[in-house]
A and B are shown apart, each in its own frame.
Chain A
Amino acid sequence: MAGEARDGRIVVVGASLAGLRAAETLRDEGFTGSLTVVGDEPHPPYDRPPLSKQVLLDEAPADSTGLPVRRDPDAEWRLGVAATGLDPLARRVLLADGESLPYDRLLIATGTRARPWPDPAGAALDGVFTLRTREDATGLAARLAAGPGRVLVVGAGFTGSEIASACRKRGLQVTVAERGPDPLVGALGGTLSRLAALMHREHGVDLRCGVTVTALLGDGAGRFTGADLSDGTRVEADVCVVALGAVRNVEWLAESGLAAGPRGIACDAGCRAFTRYGIVTDDIFVAGDVSRFPHPLFGYQMLSLEHWGNAVAQAEVAAHNMVSPGPLRRPHLSLPVFWSTQFGLNIKSVGVPTYSDHIVIAQGSLEAGRLAMVYGYRGRVTAAVTVDMAKSVDYYRHLIETAAPFPPPPGAADRALTADIPLPSDVPDPKGLSHEPVVALTGHLPDRALMVVQPPG
């Protein structure tokens, strides 16, 4: 068995972070068979986090973010061609160019794409951007460099906030429109989102919360000129960035029989995909943003994460399991970790902040703009978010991993006065946000779409 698992044909669909790390790990783990990596983007794997940070600040060109290759995965790269279907019975991946690739084991790592502006006419206006790919970033960076009069950012999640921050750093006027009460509220809850709002305003962002953008406007010649908001106001701007979260790239699996829906492809802790009947497959694995998987520290709820670190860790586990016999397989249990930089602040999150009922500010303070906020659920620590205090993250990670009691124990030298006064965590229903949260607990929402996937168009 062990020998068998090390050869044969493996196909990886998705040639980005998770796909590359999985391919490297397959070879590290002794896989000697044929390996094919399919990606619909024309580029070798590249890194996305810098796209909304260094690239928009002109500190690095978008084509400089290629991912370092840890070892040559000795793979056949099929770049610039999309997988369009999966025949699990014949074990074939169908490609847009009409070819089909046979496999013995398959890894799905197709990630997500930017959620487009819902009205195609508005989305097509010159000056309207989303930000997910290298091309998006190149185009947007060029527009920002040209010095637009104002930029409108729709959605104040992590990506929207980072874009607004980059605009301000470049001295550009920027308006941010967010349907929720404050920026980042979906990911971090009410208290920290108020600090985020303060940061936006202190840095000169025209922040409008509790409003939606009702229409993107053009000048008749196809150029974006501004937008109407639900409060009756109009914003005049030359550039618009639609930062409404991400859509999982699962449509190509509509006929596959897999449990693939808008919240991702469900898999077990060993990264094996489920069929839509909840039966685990043994030859199809999932990793990265496109997956949803159960996590024991969070009540075995299914988690959807859009985290760089998760894509890497899950890809490594998936690859290991693809070439290992059952008893040697490992679970993907790593704790979710996410970071962001905006307005000169470093935000780091560990655990699942939305899996909480209460919070305390355990160290530092909102006033100082430097703090550690700890999230609890039914009396135990389930997450922590630090602002400019990243070196404290490991301590809280340990508390989460050991299900330490909430609120966390006293004694920190810079413990806040409020550290013993738990407040409601105030995590809103994601339905009220204009963007998707980057961490979603999906297990508690009976997901009808899990059964029926609408093919696009």
Chain B
Amino acid sequence: MAPGTLLARITDYASRPDPYPLYARARAAGPVLRQDDGSFLVGGYHEIAALLHDPRMSADERARTTPTPYEGSRDASFLRLDDPEHHRLRTLAMRPFGPPHSPHRVDAMRGEIARITEELLAGLPADRPVDIVDDFAYPLPVIVICRLLGVPREDEPRFRAWSDALVATADIRPGEDTTEVERAGDRAGAELRQYLLDLAERRRGRPADDMLSAFVNEPDPSLRLTSQELAVTAALLLIAGHETTVNLITNGVLTLLRGPEHLRRLSREPGLLPVAVEELLRYEPPVHLRERVPLVDIEVAGTTLPAGTSVMLALASGNRDSRRFPDPDRFDPGRADNEHLGFGSGIHLCYGAPLARIEAQTALGALLPRLRTARLVEDPPPYRQNAMLRGPRHLRVRL
């Protein structure tokens, strides 16, 4: 297989259960690889880290000069904007969520997250194998993010449909015509934004203890999001707030069931759980690939990335780079010096990381006692289509 087609192989659905040998090939062929379609694939830890920190790398897809088949109408959230705009929006979005203005917001949710977890566990079906995704790992972060943002949980089916359509546009399928997917994404995005705006409007002057309320009732005009910005930001938080955590929890369960010795160790040493979740973020990260676009020609590891080309940073590959992590293909729940790329790095470092950590620690901690006698019904499980946000679609387990 030519290194110039690796990205296509990685995104091919057939590779979904185990893309890691392909990442290994990418790293062996060179940390930076030109693909046949003119894009680039970067698989080495140090190269990815350098590019994530490089202010000349744009997160804005509009910086691409290579033709894109479809010019959509989606508004960019701060996830796909550069500084200084990115910084302004992210900072405003951070005000009701984290430090310095709301330092204990996320931590204060621990109790609630634990309660939701227990409720879900209590409601698990006894008469059939449990689907860790549908019965547990998906509802948990959805309930949490709904609560945090101020979105009624009953509306879940509505935003799930929107979310699915939007997440599909975040996938890449080299060589395929994605116009229809993009169009559907645009429609879903517009509907979702309108829905969130309506919700927020109802909080104006009647603030509740949620982020939408905080956004619309910000007293300082210089710190207010425009309604367009508010809609885009809330949509990002709603989607990113659950589409990734579900994979983190599910991958966690899968990894532990594949390695009973880890289950035993974590049961013995529950204090290890936070460290084990970091290892999970390294070993089976929810986000596998991120795209960046060089604003000028940038040289990395002897290769020039031309301005305007699409550069795929294979975060999950960097996490398995033996130049950075000793014995990288081994899951080691006690691993020290674990500066993984599971949450990215640089200015776009995952906004929701503190929340995701608490959710994963709580969920896996609560599941541990039940997993000791559990068995996987099928291994590998069926995976989601998405190669960027990789995770099982179902994970059927006999508890």
Contact = CB atoms under 8 A, between A and B. Distances in A.
A358 B314 CA distance: 38
Contact of B53 (A344, A364, A395, A413): A395
Nearest to A363: B55
B53 A392 contact: yes
Contacts of A392: 53, 55, 346-347
Nearest to A362: B55
Contacts of B56: 409-413
Interface in A160-213: none
Interface size class of B (residues with CB under 8 A): 20 to 34
Contacts of B258: none
B296 A363 contact: no
Nearest to A390: B347
Interface in A365-422: 368, 370, 372, 391-392, 394-395, 398, 409-415
A13 B49 CA distance: 39
B84 A391 contact: no
Contacts of A415: 55
B82 A391 contact: no
Contact of A394 (B49, B83, B84, B87): B49
B84 A414 contact: yes
Nearest to B84: A414
B116 interface: no
B295 A413 contact: yes
B294 interface: yes
Given A398-B50, A413-B83, A391 B296 contact: no
Interface string A335-360: 00000000010000000000000000
Contacts of A395: 50, 53-55
B350 interface: no
A414 B100 contact: no
Contacts of A394: 49-50, 53, 346
A391 B296 CA distance: 20
B349 interface: yes
B58 interface: yes
A412 B49 contact: no
Given A411-B295, A414-B84, A391 B349 contact: yes
A344 B83 CA distance: 20
Contacts of A364: 83-84
B168 interface: no
Contacts of A370: 84, 87
B84 to A, nearest CB: 5
Contacts of A413: 55-56, 58, 60, 82-83, 295
Interface string B54-71: 111010100000000000
A412 B87 contact: no
A363 B346 CA distance: 15
Interface string B35-60: 00000000000000110011110101
Contact of A368 (B53, B82, B84, B347): B84
B298 interface: yes
A411 B53 contact: no
B87 A411 contact: no
A350 to B, nearest CB: 12
Contact of A414 (B55, B296, B307, B346): B55
Contacts of B53: 391-392, 394-395, 398
Interface in B347-386: 347, 349
A167 to B, nearest CB: 19
B271 to A, nearest CB: 15
A395 B56 CA distance: 10
Contacts of B349: 391
Given A392-B53, A413-B295, A414-B87, 12 more contacts: A344-B100, A363-B83, A370-B84, A391-B346, A394-B50, A409-B56, A409-B296, A411-B55, A412-B55, A414-B82, A414-B83, A415-B55
6 contacts: A394-B50, A409-B296, A411-B295, A411-B298, A413-B56, A414-B82
Interface of B: 49-50, 53-56, 58, 60, 82-84, 87, 100, 294-296, 298, 307, 346-347, 349
Task: State the 7 A-B residue pairs at the shortest beta-carbon distance, nearest first.
Answer: A411-B56, A411-B296, A413-B82, A412-B55, A414-B83, A394-B53, A395-B53
